[in-house]
Structure 1
Amino acid sequence: MTVVRQVQVTFDCAEPERVARFWSAVLGYEHRGTACVDPTGVGPRLYFQRVPEGKVVKNRVHLDVRVGTGLVGAQRVDALEAECARLMALGAVRVRLLPADEENESCLVMQDIEGNEFCLD
């Protein structure tokens, strides 16, 4: 028997409302207090909860923002760089470009406004 469940991704953070606004702008989601919701109902709900401790290590799970799907080579890197520039204007930080290799296309590692890693893929 197949069971399909909805998934909510929860982020620990210091400023939930601020981080929710950031991710709503990144993904085109609706901002709802300390959460953001896909207006199409397809993507997962993102919830941001306040925690007292700060971020001290690399994320064990991260989001991939899919902006280069179907693109390869320079065309893919150009799409990643364009989205990177847009997200930096929102407060994101560029970490590094991981160039294509034998197994993977290029992706760009970034951090959100509280230092959580994510990738432009």
Structure 2
Amino acid sequence: MTPVEVREVQVTVDCAGPAALCAFWCAVLGYERQAPPPGFDSWEAALDAWHVPDDQRDARDAAVPPAGASGPRLFFQRVPEPKTVKNRLHLDVRAAPGLAGDARMAALEAEAERLVGLGARRLQRYEPGGMDAGHVVMADPEGNEFCLD
């Protein structure tokens, strides 16, 4: 059997305001805004050096795990059309790993409350039962659904 090369993935999010959505997801996940390229002290300095017009400066942004942590890079790109239907792919934010029952739901509720304070919207709570351990469906500030799991 030929070995399969493991590849990294990047999660790309189409949005209206990349910088704001990047900041939201950094706060949700404990990520950091990707550092500017070598030779630049800030993204603003890089954009100035590259002569990027003001109206194109919020065209993209990226969030990465902090040093020593693992996870996919999140790339936010501005698109002209608004979100219109439910996501076919969404993130599950593991907010209560290892917890069950009331303790799990309490942890999920606490995280939901924190994220609402950051601009998220709570959409629906699913109670534990059967194969579902219980979760909360949320939407980020631009309406992209995600779950607190």
Q: In structure 1, what is the equivalent of residue 125 of structure 2? A: 97
2:109 is aligned with 1:107? no
Q: In structure 2, what is the equivalent of residue 61 of structure 1? A: 89
Q: TM-score, normalised by structure 1?
A: 0.97
- How far does residue 15 in structure 1 lie from its aligned partner after superposition? 0.3
- How far does residue 31 in structure 1 lie from its aligned partner after superposition? 1.4
d(CA) in 1 for partners of 2:4, 2:97: 28
Q: 1:87 aligns with which of 90, 110, 115?
A: 115
Higher strand share goes to which structure?
1
d(CA) in 2 for partners of 1:103, 1:96: 18
2:64 is aligned with 1:37? yes
d(CA) in 1 for partners of 2:6, 2:101: 36
2:30 is aligned with 1:3? no
SS at match of 2:138: strand
Q: TM-score, normalised by structure 2?
A: 0.79
- The runs of 5 or more residues in structure 2 that have no matched partner are 35-42, 44-60
d(CA) in 2 for partners of 1:105, 1:68: 10
- How far does residue 2 in structure 1 lie from its aligned partner after superposition? 2.4
- The runs of 5 or more residues in structure 1 that have no matched partner are none
- How far does residue 41 in structure 1 lie from its aligned partner after superposition? 4.4
Larger Rg: 2
SS at match of 1:71: coil
Output the aligned Cα RMSD. 1.0
d(CA) in 1 for partners of 2:116, 2:33: 19
- Residue deviations 1:13-55 (CA, integer Å, cap 9, x gap): 0001100000001000001371100113410000000000000
Q: Which amino acid aligns with 1:21?
A: A
2:51 is aligned with 1:49? no
The percent of aligned pairs where both chains have the same amino acid is: 55
